[in-house]
Amino acid sequence: MALNAHKPAHLVGPLRVSLRGHPLLASPRLNKGTAFPISERKAFGLEGRLPYRVNTLDEQCERAYGQLNQRDTAIRKNTFLQSLKDQNWTLYYGLLARHLKELVPIIYTPTQAEAIMNYSELFRRSEGLYLTFPDRDRMEEDFLEQTRGRDIDLFVCTDSEAILGIGDQGVGGIGISTAKSVMYTLVGGLDPSKSVPVVLDVGTDNKTLLNDPLYVGWPENRIRGEEYDKFIDRFVQLVRKHYPHSLLHFEDFGVKNAHRLLDKYRETHAVFNDDIQGTGAVTLACIMAAVGVSRRSRAAFKASSASSSSSTSQSISKDRLSDQRFVILGAGSAGMGIATQIRDAMVAADGVSRAEANSRFWMVDREGLLFEKEDNQAELQAMDVRKREFVRPSEERWDLVGLARDAEDETIEWEGVDPHVKKDAPTSQVQAAGKLDRDIEWEGIDPNSQTTASPSSHPRSPGDPVSLLHVVKEVRPTVLIGCSTASGAFNKDVIQAMLAGTEEGARPIILPLSNPTRLAEAVPEDLMHWTEGRALVATGSPFPPVKMSVEGKDVEFKIAECNNALIYPGLGFGAILAQSKRITDTMLIAGAKRLAALSPPSPNATFRTATKSQPPTPTNTTANPSYRTSASPQA
């Protein structure tokens, strides 16, 4: 196991320990189980505590893999692997490294979301640091009990308000902190003993948890306002005081706190918000790679049709980021993080002004397109300044002729079913999409409240909300991104409208990024069929390949996964190695460019953001360029 993977070879030697007998076997960091050789069994008093046979790590992994496959569901496999980690880190990481592609979805998204939702029910053993609001006066004592004498490089912390796509999960949010910490080791090469998963338990507004007699967290409503800020600040100051060179990774904070806390601390410590910066950087890399594929596709088409007299579309599909048109569904922390990251890259790479770069984005939330209206000036003034930058100007008036809905084409509004499902849709379609009471969170907005418009409807007049479908028809986006957790939002009408506005030979870039899988804005199989195989698709969670016939040929499209885990382990590890005092925007853009460069042209003209044919092992991850993203040592 790569306990010292980040150190030069001449500095790595035997690990000296004082534990013997059962305490040694009970330490997951030190326990090797049946892999302890005879000499170490004698030296550490393990004779009689282990069976006779000495196994290699390969043999142990083979046995553990067989045990794993006896579990018939993903959550049972997740629980088995968690138990294995509680016993033997060497075996745990060895097994994951040997079956990386298969097991990452088990220990990370999407299965970890289910484990977090059922944390209190599944609880067996604590892991990480639990800091609870009613115990705030002894926070430093609790902090030091967990960290004293340890060389900590990384703290992954959450307040659990916006976990994955499942919302407020209270103390169960520790599960996302532990999963992220595992990825830092698995694909970044960080010594797992140098990271601390943290949950900041400030209560929960999840009624299911509050009414659960077995809930193991603090069973009170969330603390907010000044008391919340003081609690968070107390933790951050402890990190700065005792581990000034560590990386502080913020994870799954609510939309009202994520940007605010990042701004507050990023200039005084190496602070990284994965939902904002990680999501933005990996999506930027994905788009850079996709634009390259679309460019090659368009060039090939033009070359093949050079002698043709057929006219070409007036749609925009150029080579630079600033030539693209971005429609983003979901204006919460993830959507804003993506827009901000792409905008900053435009300014840096293409030399356009900030205002000009902002003009390339159309943000759509639950109330429709964000744009100025005479009656929403107070709302705009109260809006976060970042979000306000992307509001479309009031003078932008679109011609509504021909876009009015026929009466029979009414869509169902947000009342417990997907707004894109037509009233005459098959029952199965309604059932598959109608999970708003639990699934669709829209970044803190109540999904069950009645609204004046649905994302696929058209405005009846200039004062009405402007829907996703209307925006797509008017803007003719080259890139469509979903961060809404609105399952099915990218329906056939929306996608075919996008395809109709795509330049001949170019390829629409469609990224339904919401997690977990059941909350994705579209299913890749539908996207590929609706676009006849032309779409460049990446998702936020893993999906199986799509097999279909294109121009009479059977083709398999491997679906790219636009997952933050492709960038934050390498980026964070680089910052740790450089002992960076800040995580700068330049680092994020450099990391995205490097990741995009690793995406090769695919034989079937899809694109991928990772390029490993064999998974890295814990001893060679840092030498694997597919998983490295260096942070600037000058930062």
Q: Return the SS3 of 392.
A: strand
Helical (H) or strand (E) element with 574 = helix 568-578
- Which H or E run contains 249? strand 247-250
Indicate which residue of 180, 194, 435, 473 is catalytic: 180
503 annotated ligand-binding residue: no
Give the residue from 343, 344, 292 showing the smallest Cα distance to 318: 292
Do residues 627 and 10 make contact, with C-beta atoms less than 8 angstroms apart?
no
How far is 522 from 288, CA to CA, in rounded Å? 21
Distance from the Cα of residue 229 to its chain's centroid: 25
Q: Is 70 exposed, middle or buried (0-12, 13-18, 19+ CB in 10 A)?
A: exposed
Give kind and range of the element (H or E) at residue 368: strand 368-369
Nearest to 275 by CA among 283, 265, 286, 266: 283
CA distance 289 to 143: 42
Q: At what angle do helices 568-578 and 585-597 cross, to 10 degrees?
A: 130
In single-letter form, the type of residue at position 355 comes to A
328 pairs with which residues across the strands? 363, 481
Helices (H), 243-368: 255-265, 279-304, 333-350, 354-358
The conformation of residue 275, written as its DSSP 8-state character, comes to I
Strand partners, 248: 155, 271
Check whether 563 is labelled as a binding-site residue: yes
| DSSP codes, 487-553 | TT-S-HHHHHHHHHTSPTT---EEEE--SSGGG-SS-HHHHHHHTTT--EEEESS----EEEEETTE
Can you tell me which residue has the tokens 């289910």? 114
Q: Which of the 8 DSSP states describes residue 360?
A: T
DSSP secondary structure of 124-187:
-S--SEEEEGGGGGGHHHHHHHHHTT----EEEEE--TTBTTTB--GGGGHHHHHHHHHHHHHT
Q: In what order do the strands lie in the sheet with 560-561?
A: 368-369, 361-365, 326-329, 479-482, 509-512, 536-539, 560-561
Annotated catalytic residue 119: no
CA–CA dist 83, 512 (Å, integer): 33
Instruction: Identify the three-state secondary structure at position 391.
Output: coil
Phi, psi (5° rounding) for residue 555?
Answer: -130, 140
Rg of the chain taking only CA atoms, in angstroms: 25
Establish whether 275 is an annotated binding residue: yes
**Given the residues 108, 184, 215, 243, the one annotated as active site:** 108
CB 116 within 8 A of CB 165: no
The CA distances from residue 470 to 193, 488, 501, in Å, are 52, 17, 12
Distance CA 68, CA 619 (A): 23
Please check whether residue 327 is in contact with residue 478, taking contact to mean a CB–CB distance below 8 angstroms: no
How far is residue 525's CA from residue 517's CA, in Å, rounded to a whole number? 13
180 carries an active-site annotation: yes
Residue 227 labeled ligand binder = no
Query: Annotated binding site: which residue ranges?
Result: 251-252, 275, 515, 563
Catalytic annotation, residues: 108, 180
Query: Annotated binding site for (S)-malate: which residue ranges?
Result: 515, 563
Query: Annotated binding site for a divalent metal cation: which residue ranges?
Result: 251-252, 275
